[in-house]
Amino acid sequence: MSLNIVTKLSAKKVCGKIAKPEKKTALMHVFGIATGIKTGESNFGPFTALTGAFRATRISDGEIFQSGLCFLPKMGTELIAPMLAKEGVDGLEFAFIIGVVPAENAYGYEYYVEPMLESKENDPLELLAKRVSQAALPAPEKTAKATK
């Protein structure tokens, strides 16, 4: 497939008008290196986009898109933005599958985001998850049955 250089990556830009799905449907793979955040206002309200180098592949036909600006569904941006704000972070690699699931809203769908990369060993959330799963829960206390 050819490489399409575009002004921004978004589900709409890569996939066009999204029809109401009957089941969970993957739309695109998107990956890149986020180096910053761009916020602003548009005709549709406030927005947050990632800046850096990004590439997306439309799953339906394999068409490839590339841009320096990436709009992810809110949950994707909310995963990446706090990590970019940390001191000493120059760039953050990510890769997601972006898709839709049926929903009872005006659009008939909502987005989902699935990570395509394993968490790194030094990911603070993964380290915490390991500590939590390793913490032994105390055995339930046996209580004496009340006698009449």
Q: Could you list the residue range(s) of the whole structural domain that residue 75 is in?
A: 3-118
CA atoms of 83 and 115, how far apart (whole Å): 15
Tell whether 83 is covered by a domain: yes
84 lies in some domain: yes
Give how far Cα 10 sits from Cα of 85, 124, 135, Å. 22, 28, 41
Domain count, the chain: 1
Decide if 77 is inside a domain: yes
Q: Name the DSSP class of 60.
A: T
In a domain, 33, yes or no: yes
Q: Please indicate, yes or no, if residue 26 is contained in any of the structural domains.
A: yes
Q: Look at residue 22 and tell me if it is in a domain.
A: yes
| Domain assignment present for 129 | no
pLDDT in tens, the chain (148 residues): 689 999 999 999 999 999 999 999 999 999 999 999 999 998 888 999 999 999 999 999 999 999 999 999 999 999 898 888 888 888 889 999 999 999 999 999 999 999 998 766 556 666 677 777 666 556 667 665 655 5
Residue 58 lies in a domain: yes
This prediction's pTM: 0.78
